[in-house]
Structure 1
Amino acid sequence: MSSPDAPARRNPFRRTPDTGPRASFRELLPYLTEHRGLLALAIVLSLVSAGLSLAQPALVSQVISLVESGGALGALAWLLVALVIGNGIVTAVQHYLLQRAGTSVVYSSRRALIRRLLRLPIREFDTRRTGDLVSRVGSDTTLLYAVLTQGLVDALGGAVVFVGAIVGMAIIDPLLLGATVLVIAVAIAVVGGLSGRIRVASREQQEKVGDVAAGVQRAIAAIRTVRAANATERESVAIEREAKAAWGAGIRVAKVSALVVPVASIAMNVSFLVVLGLGGYRVASGAITIANLVAFILFLFLMIMPLGQAFGAVTSVNQALGALGRIQEIMRIPSEDEGDASVAAAPAIETDDAIRFEEVRFAYPEAAHKTEREKVIAETVGDEPPDDREVLHGVSFAVPRGSRVALVGPSGAGKSTILALIERFYDPTAGVVRVDGMDVRALPREELRARIGYVEQDAPVLAGTIRDNLTLGTPDATDAQCAQVLRSVNLGEVLDRDPAGLDAAVGEDGVMLSGGERQRLAIARALLAAAPILLLDEATASLDGVNEQLLREAIDAVAADRTLLIIAHRLSTVVDSDAIVVLDHGRVVGVGTHSELVATVPLYRDLAKHQLLV
């Protein structure tokens, strides 16, 4: 068993640091313009606050001059108090507006990212890790908040204060201003040099955080397997290694950004000392008055304050742009519907077939064929054998409307791939897949999938309630309809054992249900949708003999007016099908009834013998 002190090994689940394209400020603008009303008001208030701030040094200078001359302050003092209080109120309102705008930007970016994620081509989910995608929705979008709350609008108001302060200082004493600007210019040059390094380090940090999220998600999703294999410590060490890498990346961000803070502090202190020393000499020589020196110092503080904010904003804005780069990486991926208009679909034909494959060839895209884990492992062990990525080789068969057809064959023969092509999770490399005589590429995906009920081999169950899972595709189904379809697949006991009935929780990944119950719930969902075509991928794999028979009876009850295409390893469940298609290594090696295939197809005869059906 591994230990935290064990020598570091190359982790096959760990990615090489991604220094992909970084986002530019221009790419951030669409997120900001969506909330331009709030931002415009915040900018106006920022300018008002700047004006109120700039008025104070001039007013203080007049107060000092009146005190020196022995004049009465009168309303001047009250005006100064009003300026200070008014500035505080304006700043508070502006702060609220910025917080609201920042929260709105995070929301709109999450909304756009979620909509894009759920519409990505299936091949993207074949290679990307779920935890990393979740991290982009969570932590990456949160960093956009800092753009508004820690820099952007404040920087605009600060720029006005900065320019106004310089003008005021120039009026009072250009010589003092020149000495001050020299110090500030050096500080700005240093911060500008650090800016790029912060953005690179920030993006790396977000990548590492995504690695941690992916590792945690992977371990939790398979927690029972991990515990049963006594791999808890090993998985903990692996995730801790990712967490340490994220910590290291965060430290690198901290080191670079830490250099920014003292630069601002040193610039302020040095410029203040320069003003005090040189300004005192100028007062002693009679070049300026004490009142002017005080006003100059106040203008200096007004100039340094937004400059310090800008220096701090460099870190937060660059972190946000690094995170935005990861968000934009997903946003740039075309959704599965984009480009459909340019697909050349075969013309429709008149046919009695509900499903028809015509010389279909299919090869998984390079990215989907080999997962990132497999690529890294192969690279690690130096074993990358050549392989043929084509999994279907000229497959042709037909499923007449209203019939029941089974797909059988050894594992890896291409059976599940055929269902994926019908659902148009992928498009064929060559040939035509037809549904009701139409090339599936000519049908809008929503319309195509509305015609098909699909039960996957793993029968995934979503966290939530029985009702949530059952009505996933039919949200308007009544309680009576739900109960009827559940009892038709022998899930009445699940309804009765919990007082909540349809609203009983199923747990994460349906952990509150048995494997057979999850399978039957998925089938019930497909039956409730009442689609004219049913695709069943190993629908009875997790069922015992009794429930298998009950499920076959339920399917028989709805099969009269539906087309069924069934994948099965248990030939006993499909021997009475209207036709059986035998696949081997992506090729059709036989089509016929059970008795015909036993007599004519050696592969099918062997399968039947092993299952005692011959």
Structure 2
Amino acid sequence: MSAPAPRRGRRSAPQDGPRARLTQLLPYIFEHKPVLVVIVILSIAGSITTLAQPLLVGQVIERVQSGEALGVLVWGIVALVVASSVISGYQHYLLQRTGTAVVYSSRRKLIARILHLPISEFDSRRTGDLVSRVGTDTTLLYAVLTQGLADSVGNALLFVGAILAMAFIDPVLLVSIVGVLGISVVGVTLLSSRIRTATQEQQDKVGELASGVERAVGSIRTVRAAGATEREAADVTRVATDVYGVGVRIAKVSALVVPIAGIALQVSLLVVLGLGGYRVASGAITVADLVTFVMFLFLLIAPLGSFFGAITSVNQALGALGRIQEVLDLPIETDQDVAIAATVQPAATAPGANDSHAALEFRDVRFRYPASVVAARRTAESAALAALSDAHVDTSAVELPATADSDGEVLKGVSFQVPRGSRVALVGPSGAGKSTTLALIERFYDPTDGAILLDGVDVRTLDRTDLRGQLGYVEQDAPTLAGTIAENLRLASPTASDEECERVLRAVNLGEVLERSPLGVDAPVGEAGVMLSGGERQRLAIARALLAAPPILLLDESTSSLDGLNEQRMRDAIDAVATGRTLIVIAHRLSTVVDSDLIVVLDHGRVVGQGTHSELVESTPLYRDLARHQLLV
């Protein structure tokens, strides 16, 4: 009797990721230098026109008091206001456009990086979280440009110009407000660090939420059939509640920034009016000076408010950028090849049809999955058992595929050869390492020790694209991409004609699918192939591999979803295209592989037998038991 499965509870908070630095944010902005230069020039011009307005207003007041004619001063003020408005509007447009370009640039980099990550990263990370980084996290970079950072040069000029003008008008009044403004700046700076931390936590939670929704929606039929809709909704809602809670914390901290700026302005204005009124009464300054000073005070507060907004937006962006940069800093498959090249002898010759070598050979191959992948799989297994327990299913007899033995190895000294043009079958119980063997051939992972040879050449010395171009791989789950039948078939053969697509579909007994719709090969298959049956999806995956016509076919449980009639038809189709090709087939149904040229029996990561069906029945107890249970002996 196995131990009770752990109950599902509140998911633990994500571990703190790397904190991004401002220097990591600047390259995204400096990609648009020409536009930024224009924005800075417009910002400076706008600041000059704005600073000139209080000076002209002061002169207008003085001329009115002295009874002099205003002349062109009024029209000068009107011209400055119009110019400032036009400059501000065009600058706003450029900022919005550049902010959108920054988001686009970051998404482009992130998408390119994600799609080139090693398979181990996808095995250990949640799909929804990666999607969230592309969508939600990158959006926060938009605020960096649109909320003050790119306008900082103009605001700095406006701030300094206002300070100098106020010092020239009345240094006493200026000193009276410096303390108030200084306290507000310190307060906002201290609050900004809390905003950055909370934003990063919020984005982590948003990624977890996206993963939860993707998990539930992607398996909605299974969820409905199991009566687990309410439980799944409750799980996702718990994460949404966490996101809400962090968002409220950010709102509370951000809400403190607004009053600080408002209080600073109000207190400064009261001080200036009170002390300024006294100094006007004492004759130290004129009314025109006081009005001009107050106008400059408002001009001083405007860039200060932009500064506060920039601090908040930059810290929010840095919180999201930490998650983006974490992915961008991950090594891609090409980076792995560079490290491997230092330890593996280069290929003497390119692989080809060399009769002196086996098509494929495993030489004492050992392999263990990375710790992150093992941890992710164990978490998934625990969640699966918990779901069964929540559904009141007895989990004592549930057997989950083993990831590795206690020593951590999945394959332990596996050796066998695949002669060119032969059909080799890999059989054994769940967790024996069969699918891992195909993953190593495809170089989704590389061996921990030993070597895999393609035509006598270590596959680690080959370009992955060239290697995979020689392999046709049909996964166990036979995934179907959203789109049309033709788009699925042309995934590995983009130049294939409609006639070639139809021919290979009929070869795998999918002709009736073509006849369902007048669109033929352009008929949609739905999200994840929902408009096809499980067997049809599997045959479509096999058709995709056959259309590419590679010299080596890797079939992982390729007939597991087929009935007896279609399985036989599929075997006939594979036999037809297998001529002159090498096949490696994984199968639990021994009836589909009994006529193989070679059968390799795996158990707990070791080869426990090799030979034909009749030879293994006599020599290998495990195979004999498997055959007996399937009524083949």
**Alignment TM-score, normalising by the size of structure 1:** 0.95
Counterpart selection for 1:483 from 498, 502, 506: 502
Instruction: Name the SS of the counterpart of 1:85 in structure 2.
Output: helix
Instruction: Name the SS of the counterpart of 1:370 in structure 2.
Output: helix
Identify the residue that residue 611 of structure 1 maps to in structure 2. 630
What CA deviation, in whole Å up to 9, does each residue of 1:68-101 have, x standing for no partner?
Answer: 1212222221111011001100000000000000
1:523 aligned partner, one-letter code: I
Instruction: Name the SS of the counterpart of 1:338 in structure 2.
Output: helix
Instruction: Name the SS of the counterpart of 1:152 in structure 2.
Output: coil
The answer (yes or no) to whether the contact 1:357–1:433 under 8 Å persists in 2 is: yes
The answer (yes or no) to whether the contact 1:12–1:373 under 8 Å persists in 2 is: no
C-alpha distance in 2 between matches for 1:543 and 1:430: 37
* 1:50-129 alignment runs, 5 A limit: 50-129=47-126
Identify the residue that residue 459 of structure 1 maps to in structure 2. 478
Identify the residue that residue 221 of structure 2 maps to in structure 1. 224
Instruction: Name the SS of the counterpart of 1:66 in structure 2.
Output: helix
Specify every segment of 5 or more residues in structure 1 that has no aligned partner in the other structure, as ranges. 1-8
What CA deviation, in whole Å up to 9, does each residue of 1:306-350 have, x standing for no partner?
Answer: 111221222222111100011111111111220312312246587
Instruction: Name the SS of the counterpart of 1:305 in structure 2.
Output: helix
Specify every segment of 5 or more residues in structure 2 that has no aligned partner in the other structure, as ranges. 1-5, 349-353, 387-403
Instruction: Name the SS of the counterpart of 2:360 in structure 1.
Output: strand
> In the TM superposition, what is the alpha-carbon distance from 1:16 to its structure 2 partner?
2.3
Instruction: Name the SS of the counterpart of 2:20 in structure 1.
Output: coil
Identify the residue that residue 287 of structure 2 maps to in structure 1. 290
Identify the residue that residue 179 of structure 2 maps to in structure 1. 182
The answer (yes or no) to whether the contact 2:42–2:91 under 8 Å persists in 1 is: yes
Deviates more, 1:552-561 or 1:104-113: 552-561
> Do the aligned partners of residues 108 and 189 (structure 1) sit closer, same or farther apart at CA in structure 2, a change above 3 Å counting?
same
* 1:500-579 alignment runs, 5 A limit: 500-579=519-598
The answer (yes or no) to whether the contact 1:346–1:432 under 8 Å persists in 2 is: no
* 1:56-455 alignment runs, 5 A limit: 56-343=53-340, 344-346=343-345, 348=347, 351-371=356-376, 374=379, 387-455=406-474
> Do the aligned partners of residues 348 and 61 (structure 1) sit closer, same or farther apart at CA in structure 2, a change above 3 Å counting?
closer
The answer (yes or no) to whether the contact 1:361–1:429 under 8 Å persists in 2 is: yes
1:362 aligned partner, one-letter code: F
Identify the residue that residue 393 of structure 2 maps to in structure 1. none
The answer (yes or no) to whether the contact 1:13–1:373 under 8 Å persists in 2 is: no
C-alpha distance in 2 between matches for 1:11 and 1:174: 66
2:344 aligned partner, one-letter code: A
The answer (yes or no) to whether the contact 1:402–1:561 under 8 Å persists in 2 is: yes
Identify the residue that residue 601 of structure 1 maps to in structure 2. 620
Do residues 24 (structure 1) and 21 (structure 2) align? yes
The answer (yes or no) to whether the contact 2:10–2:238 under 8 Å persists in 1 is: no
1:98 aligned partner, one-letter code: L
> In the TM superposition, what is the alpha-carbon distance from 1:51 to its structure 2 partner?
0.8
The answer (yes or no) to whether the contact 2:39–2:151 under 8 Å persists in 1 is: no
> Do the aligned partners of residues 580 and 444 (structure 1) sit closer, same or farther apart at CA in structure 2, a change above 3 Å counting?
same
2:521 aligned partner, one-letter code: L
What CA deviation, in whole Å up to 9, does each residue of 1:213-248 have, x standing for no partner?
Answer: 111111111111111111111111111111111000
The answer (yes or no) to whether the contact 2:422–2:583 under 8 Å persists in 1 is: yes
The answer (yes or no) to whether the contact 1:356–1:435 under 8 Å persists in 2 is: yes
Do residues 592 (structure 1) and 591 (structure 2) align? no
C-alpha distance in 2 between matches for 1:528 and 1:375: 35
Identity of aligned residues (%): 64
> In the TM superposition, what is the alpha-carbon distance from 1:501 to its structure 2 partner?
1.4
> In the TM superposition, what is the alpha-carbon distance from 1:490 to its structure 2 partner?
0.7
Deviates more, 1:598-607 or 1:389-398: 598-607
1:219 aligned partner, one-letter code: A
C-alpha distance in 1 between matches for 2:73 and 2:375: 77
> In the TM superposition, what is the alpha-carbon distance from 1:352 to its structure 2 partner?
2.7
> In the TM superposition, what is the alpha-carbon distance from 1:506 to its structure 2 partner?
0.9
C-alpha distance in 2 between matches for 1:426 and 1:565: 18
C-alpha distance in 1 between matches for 2:310 and 2:46: 19
The answer (yes or no) to whether the contact 1:201–1:252 under 8 Å persists in 2 is: yes
> In the TM superposition, what is the alpha-carbon distance from 1:376 to its structure 2 partner?
10
C-alpha distance in 1 between matches for 2:377 and 2:254: 33
> In the TM superposition, what is the alpha-carbon distance from 1:263 to its structure 2 partner?
0.3
C-alpha distance in 2 between matches for 1:88 and 1:569: 74
What CA deviation, in whole Å up to 9, does each residue of 1:257-306 have, x standing for no partner?
Answer: 11111000000000001111111111111111111111111100000011
Deviates more, 1:149-158 or 1:252-261: 149-158
C-alpha distance in 2 between matches for 1:233 and 1:67: 75
C-alpha distance in 2 between matches for 1:102 and 1:502: 41
Question: What is the root-mean-square deviation in Å for CA atoms of aligned residues?
Answer: 1.8
Moved over 3 A (4+): 9-13, 346-351, 375-378
C-alpha distance in 2 between matches for 1:233 and 1:102: 41
Instruction: Name the SS of the counterpart of 2:332 in structure 1.
Output: coil
Instruction: Name the SS of the counterpart of 1:394 in structure 2.
Output: strand
Deviates more, 1:142-151 or 1:387-396: 387-396
